[in-house]
Structure 1
């Protein structure tokens, strides 16, 4: 089962405040534990919403609104992607989040990720093959950009 751990934004992340050296150290240790356990497969922090945009479609036509966005509690500051055996195991990892983040007051959200099997018959073998090809191409592109 795959899950996303969503780190909700707060006034500090929305202000673009960079984490302290201690928080970076603690997050790296946490990430390293998950990688060594074979559960973490990606994770990133997000820049403040002032650098973002929202795109809303109405009648199929896009309207773009530049950030910042007023409700920080509705925004995310980062995410971690994990693969575990159960929701309970995912929650155990979430509970180990570094306690100094957000000065001890951080909100995390855990959401399960849809997998091909969840879509049933609508996810035909042809669509599955196309989806795998797209993922493979994206992985190659990502690996190339890290060089």
Structure 2
């Protein structure tokens, strides 16, 4: 088994379309979540708050600069995620295809490397 992060990415247009039809979208999403739970593959699922309520820590210069959201000219916004434990990337993709999304939205599927794949001389606390 391997962990995969399904990253929900939306545009201003797809987010507006989703909000216009939010009740059926949420009901369909709850149904997929229930199916993931029954299948034993769901580890976590969360949505994110409005980007206007967030901040960005930018490391472009010598010192980090913090700015308030929204994020300028961003074409896609990270709106939430599902963390799955499945046998393969194709299985993760099949689950991603079942998640309700507005036209124009995307779901990025990325494998989460295991601890044994992190360089052993890393100074990152484990």
TM-score by length of structure 1 reads 0.72
Between the aligned partners of 1:36 and 1:84, the Cα distance in structure 2 is 13
Q: Bigger radius of gyration, 1 or 2?
A: 1
Q: After superposition, give the CA deviation of every residue in 1:45-104 in whole Å (9 maximum; x if it has no partner).
A: 111211111102333x22101111133433211111111111111111111122xx21x3
Q: How many residues align?
A: 123
Instruction: Indicate how the Cα distance of structure 1 residues 80 and 116 shifts in structure 2: closer, same or farther if over 3 A, else same.
Output: same
Conserved 8 A contact 1:9-1:72? no
Q: Hey, which of these two has a bigger chunk of helix by percent? A: 1
Structure 2 segments unaligned to the other structure (5+ residues): none
Kindly report the root-mean-square deviation, in angstroms, between the aligned alpha carbons of the 2 structures.
Answer: 2.6
Correspondent of 2:34 among 32, 35, 58? 32
Q: Which residue matches 1:137? A: none
Q: Which residue matches 1:106? A: 105
Q: CA deviation at 1:19?
A: 5.7
Between the aligned partners of 2:33 and 2:73, the Cα distance in structure 1 is 28
Q: Structure 1 residue 79 and structure 2 residue 81: aligned?
A: yes
Between the aligned partners of 2:36 and 2:27, the Cα distance in structure 1 is 14
Q: Which residue matches 1:20? A: 22
Structure possessing the higher relative contact order (Cα contacts under 8 Å, 6 or more residues apart): 2
Q: Which residue matches 1:119? A: 118
